[in-house]
Amino acid sequence: MRSALYLATLAVRHKPPLRTVHQHLLDQGNEQKVALIACARELLTCLKAVLKSRTPRPDELVTARDTPA
Above 80 in pLDDT, residue 63?
no
As a whole number, the mean pLDDT across the chain is: 80
> In terms of pLDDT, which residue wins out, 6 or 59?
6
What DSSP designation does 2 have?
Answer: H
Residues spanned by the domain of 34:
2-60
Above 90 in pLDDT, residue 28?
yes
Count of structural domains within the chain: 1
Above 80 in pLDDT, residue 21?
yes
Above 60 in pLDDT, residue 58?
no
Instruction: Please give the Cα distance from 46 to 25 (Å, whole number).
Output: 18
Is 44 within a domain?
A: yes
Is 15 within a domain?
A: yes
pLDDT at position 24: 93
Is 69 within a domain?
A: no
Is 67 within a domain?
A: no
Is 39 within a domain?
A: yes
Span 2-24, average pLDDT: 84
